[in-house]
Structure 1
């Protein structure tokens, strides 16, 4: 006999293609940026370029969090303290789909990652390693401020980023082996097996072209920022 818990379940599109591509592009760019920084020397050119790419991606995600697919919007994964408490107590209200997209704790981790990346990139834009590399906006701040933010970039900023990445990985492992929930598969395919009544995200050719337009605008904005600052 079939398990009754799955009789009314079906494949539901949760993550639209722009969100998935953003996620994996961000993973690659952050890993590449960290690796090139550790190598140093001529690789620092790529550290800075990948940092610019991360800035464009984060800018896109902030916009997509406002106008993107249903489960990619901030309104569907940034919850009130009361909702977070209901999630922790496992007592959701009718209509609250905590485990469809990002759950309340996952939503907080996403927001923390975006904010931390912005701070890390912002400090990099005005950094000076006192060897051969300076951020493109260094002329906008005093030398004291530049050195202070350079110290942050290399210490608190770096280790805070590593901590957030580590927590993200631990959460993936915990949900996979502790709750039997695969978080990586849906971020590849876009789909989750959910109750049939759960609303799907919109993921059409039109929304994908719109997302591409937003990304192009973000890339152009970062390029202008770097060029106006005197960078490459």
Structure 2
């Protein structure tokens, strides 16, 4: 007779990061397509994503057990076993091997998109705050990547991410969305829970405040230059 175990997998800071980042990425795509005065919001959302990405890197080192990068860095052999269907039950507690690749891919592409955005110049009304620190050639390359390559990589990876979620939900019958909303997963075997207490959440708020201050400082470099 099997018993189910309810385990806190995703701490509150990780869940908030996930949903705020998702909304911000949607906002970035929409404002970029609309253009015009909405580019002001595009820049603001870009700085918000910068703060979120820095926060996630730090939280990936000190956050709850299953939010730490150490919990979902898999050897290639383990990823291959999972793809072949020979994975272990522990592969699905936090991020699965394929889910981990998706997370790292999204974080990397978003980091590149934010970085090139900070170095981009549309030569009309908007310029990134870091353009004055690099050559015109670098600005041109960053702008080209940001407008013509990066945005489609972001859209493509987000689409793949959503398709993967749909596959797991409707084909493999695994609940992925609700655990990222409420934090808990229903597991067949006991597992160590993520730390998600008041002290942890206060610590996350402090880290986020520092990351927000960093993003604001980066944005102020452009204001100092008169952009």
TM range (shorter): over 0.9
- State the SS of the aligned residue for 1:11: strand
- State the SS of the aligned residue for 1:230: helix
CA drift of 1:230 comes to 3.1
Pick from 121, 126, 134 the counterpart of residue 128 of structure 1.
121
- Structure 1 partner of 2:94: 101
- Structure 2 partner of 1:56: 51
Q: Do the aligned residues in 1 keep the contact of 2:3 with 2:188 (CA within 8 Å)? A: yes
- Normalised by the length of structure 1, the TM-score is 0.93
Instruction: Indicate the larger mover: 63-72 or 192-201.
Output: 192-201
Alignment: residue pair count: 225
CA drift of 1:131 comes to 1.2
Q: Do the aligned residues in 2 keep the contact of 1:126 with 1:135 (CA within 8 Å)? A: yes
Q: Do the aligned residues in 2 keep the contact of 1:137 with 1:230 (CA within 8 Å)? A: no
CA RMSD of aligned residues (A): 1.4
Consecutive unaligned residues in structure 2, runs of 5 or more: none
Consecutive unaligned residues in structure 1, runs of 5 or more: none
Pick from 11, 20, 28 the counterpart of residue 16 of structure 1.
11
Pick from 9, 29, 34 the counterpart of residue 39 of structure 1.
34
- State the SS of the aligned residue for 1:134: coil
CA drift of 1:92 comes to 4.2
- Normalised by the length of structure 2, the TM-score is 0.95
Structure 1 stretches (4+) deviating beyond 2 angstroms?
88-93, 228-232
